[in-house]
Amino acid sequence: MATLKDVARLAGVSVKTVSNVVNGYSFVKPDNRRRVEEALEATGYRPNLGARNLRRGRTGFIALVLPELSIPYFAELAGLVIAAAQEHEWNVLIEQTFGTLSGERQALASLGPHLVDAAILSPEALQVEDFQLSVPAVLLGEHDVEVPISRVGIDNVAAAMTAVRHLISLGRTRIAAIGAHPQRGTAALRLEGYRAALEEAGLPFVSSLVVPAVNYHRADGAAAMRALLDLRNPPDAVFCFNDLLAVGAMRTAAERFVRVPHDLAIVGFDNNDESAYSSPSLTSVAPDKAAIARAAVDLLRQRADSPDLALDDVQTPFSLQVRESTVAR
Amino acid sequence: MATLKDVARLAGVSVKTVSNVVNGYSFVKPDNRRRVEEALEATGYRPNLGARNLRRGRTGFIALVLPELSIPYFAELAGLVIAAAQEHEWNVLIEQTFGTLSGERQALASLGPHLVDAAILSPEALQVEDFQLSVPAVLLGEHDVEVPISRVGIDNVAAAMTAVRHLISLGRTRIAAIGAHPQRGTAALRLEGYRAALEEAGLPFVSSLVVPAVNYHRADGAAAMRALLDLRNPPDAVFCFNDLLAVGAMRTAAERFVRVPHDLAIVGFDNNDESAYSSPSLTSVAPDKAAIARAAVDLLRQRADSPDLALDDVQTPFSLQVRESTVAR
DNA sequence: CATCGTTGTTCCAACGATGTAAAGACCGTG
DNA sequence: CACGGTCTTTACATCGTTGGAACAACGATG
């Protein structure tokens, strides 16, 4: 592999001059520039990023800390983050925490400043005291605890209200919620939105219609739905806190011969790609994932360049994708 | 951020002694070792990976080049590769090619030896002449062209035969195939297996029942299924070359009121997580993704340590997950 | 023609870690 | 107590790059 030295020898100039050409420094004689460029071409020179970053004090990487890539929402988001990072000449390092506190702590611990320039975090269990980071970071999604980190995400309360209002507008009155979770900040906010929409419509808040979910996997949605259908007075609609839960719920409904959407309307959250193709297709709250990815990376780029910018809180847009899983009674 | 120098000063020893302690060199006096360890603890020292790798000539990264993270198969695989790489102290850099030749060439070009120690490739369009790599690499999946690179994957012909034999054993006789593709090596192999299974059973090969797919997305499966249902004599079973195509096909069937599995049995390929939760759930060829990830990383570790090991071709196991989408006539 | 500013180039040091060689400490032995 | 051999530590160079200072060349200016 060719180094600057090799190129310099071939072009008959100093190493620094080659470096200047590579980095687009203006004052290089046309003649030398040509010779250097020819030598670069001839040797197929590619800068050694390790060395460059050692010298510059940057690494060229950002970390993306998320629960699990096998969860479609995070996979889709990761793809978008990678694309957005590329435009800032950043490479993305993905760390999976599997949603556990220890996994998250471990991921954070490995985020020394020599490994990454910045980090995008999507934690589920972290405590306030864990957020002692040595690099600029941004939190994806809202959390109910106050942490000294910038955030990017949608307004979860408003989004949940939109979903539940939609169900109410269809004449549904016994609306369940799947996905309550004592630790998750977003869960608390979505529950708050659910509650607010019910209240607004004068519907009672029935605690037996609120089902927790340990994880947010399909199996958890299926189990929660079983519990709901076993109630003496089952719901006529369900608001699921993510699409996987909704898919699980739909599966249980099908097994129990409960007709979706007629007997049971279902709304999900995240608008996964798969949700447009289920039968029936799933109505879902659709955060603008590309906007989230872009905003997060942009925010980090700014913080990486000037570290003491104030905290920011970027609200990205969302919409409600109405599909077959919700119709009027 | 503390460096070896800081630790050395604090412990009252030379930089190299600290380095020796950090790297587990045996001959350090207990007394010094203790002092160094205390100093390491006190300063919270973490090695600068850039510098270490510059010196050692390795980067600590491997590349995972794949079409798109939003495709569940690759997302699941990526998660497993990351986990497997972690055990070898490798970080994974994901590059998306979006299945285009230019995207793949670009990804390959960026794989200089100073960026990554090795690479895992999942190409779709690359030509033989593109495989001039400067780092050890392994190809995921089989390809019909011969390339001088080690491979890891299942036996696609056998897997396809297993799927089609299953349909035949259920009494299906007009079996379609969705996913033919002129460029993709795996497509050719799966088609070969499809053909072989038909022949073995004495069933005719009907070319109108073989539908190509440009991409392997859900929409392509839906479109292909529409074409099949428009035939004068539509199929009673479909073998889809991946689960996304199968999900699309199921969706079209539902829209057209074709009953799956009774009127139409469907088999997919990849066994995505979502396939267990569709209604009906999807029978699918299930490659052992964890085994693939592990084998690929292990193989690269060996090649990284001793670069001139011979080419290898690891066959990983697969099974057929029979679910609701296939029953006897 | 001495001086100056501009332009272009080179030399040197540094980023933080590690391999090498050599020096130093320490032991037992003759 | 000099010697050799085994531990233990250190100084130094080095990986490939870039920032800064120094230097060199140049025409223009007074």
Q: What is the CATH classification number for the domain harbouring A175?
A: 3.40.50.2300
User: Looking at chain B, which residue has its C-alpha nearest residue A324?
Assistant: B255
Say if B189 falls within a structural domain. yes
Q: Are residues B141 and B107 in the same domain?
A: yes
The per-residue pLDDT for B313 is: 94
Cα dihedral A188, A193, A196, A200, rounded to 10, equals -170
Q: In the structure, what pLDDT confidence band is assigned to residue A185 with cuts at 50, 70 and 90?
A: confident
- Mean pLDDT over A128-153 rounds to 85
Q: Is-contact A316 A141, C-beta < 8 A? A: no
B282 and B222, same domain (yes or no): yes
Q: Is A16 helix (H, G, I), strand (E, B) or coil?
A: helix
Residues B190 and B214 in one domain: yes
In this prediction, residue B121 carries a pLDDT of: 95
* Cα–Cα distance, B216 to B233 (Å, whole number): 25
Question: What is the pLDDT, as a whole number, of residue A142?
Answer: 80
Q: Chain A residue with minimal CA distance to B289?
A: A70
pLDDT at A96 over 80: yes
Specify whether A230 is located in the same domain as A132.
no
Q: Which residue has tokens 């790489």?
A: B85
The mean predicted confidence, pLDDT, of chain A is: 94
Q: Does A85 map to a domain?
A: yes
B327 in a structural domain: no
Question: Mind listing the pLDDT tens digit of every residue in chain B (329 residues)?
Answer: 899 999 999 999 999 999 999 999 888 999 999 999 999 999 999 999 889 999 998 888 999 999 999 999 999 999 999 999 998 889 999 999 998 899 999 888 888 778 899 999 998 877 777 777 888 999 998 877 778 899 999 999 999 999 999 999 999 999 999 999 988 889 999 999 999 999 999 999 999 999 999 999 999 999 999 999 999 999 999 999 999 999 999 999 999 999 999 999 999 999 999 999 999 999 999 999 999 999 999 999 999 988 888 999 999 999 999 999 999 98
Q: How far apart are CA A48 and CA A203, in angstroms?
A: 64
Q: Output phi, psi for B234, to 5 deg.
A: -70, 165
A234, part of any domain: yes
Query: Smallest CA–CA separation between A253 and chain B, in Å?
Result: 10
Cβ of residue B68 closer than 8 Å to a chain A Cβ: yes
- Rounded to 10°, the helix B4-11/B30-43 angle is 130
**Is a pLDDT exceeding 80 seen at residue A245?**
yes
Name the nearest CA neighbour of B141 among B188, B97, B174, B207.
Answer: B188
Residue A113 touches partner B, C-beta closer than 8 Å: yes
Tell me the residue range of the domain where A13 lies.
Answer: 4-47
Answer for the pair B15, B8: CB distance below 8 angstroms, yes or no.
Answer: yes
Share of chain A above pLDDT 90, in %: 81
For residue A325, tell me if it sits in a domain: no
B281 and B165, same structural domain? yes
How near does any CA of chain B get to the CA of A276, in Å?
A: 9
Considering only CB atoms, A277 lies closest to which of B53, B83, B248, namely: B248
- Residue A247 above 90 pLDDT? yes
Per DSSP bridges, beta strands A318-321 and A283-287 are: antiparallel
| B121 and B176 part of one domain | no
The tally of domains found in chain B comes to 3
Q: Which nucleotide is nearest to A114 (CA to C1')?
A: C16
Q: Rounded to whole angstroms, how far apart are CA atoms B16 and B32? A: 12
pLDDT confidence band for A302 (50 / 70 / 90)? very high
CA dihedral B167, B192, B208, B173 (to 10 degrees): -20
User: Phi/psi at B210 (nearest 5 deg)?
Assistant: -105, 115
Same domain membership, residue B184 and residue B81: no
Query: Chain A contact for B92, CB < 8 A?
Result: yes
**Do residues B122 and B186 both lie within one domain?**
no
Residues 13-32 of A with CB under 7 A from strand C: 13-17, 20, 26-29, 31-32
Q: Which nucleotides of strand D lie within 7 A of protein CB?
A: 7-12, 14-20
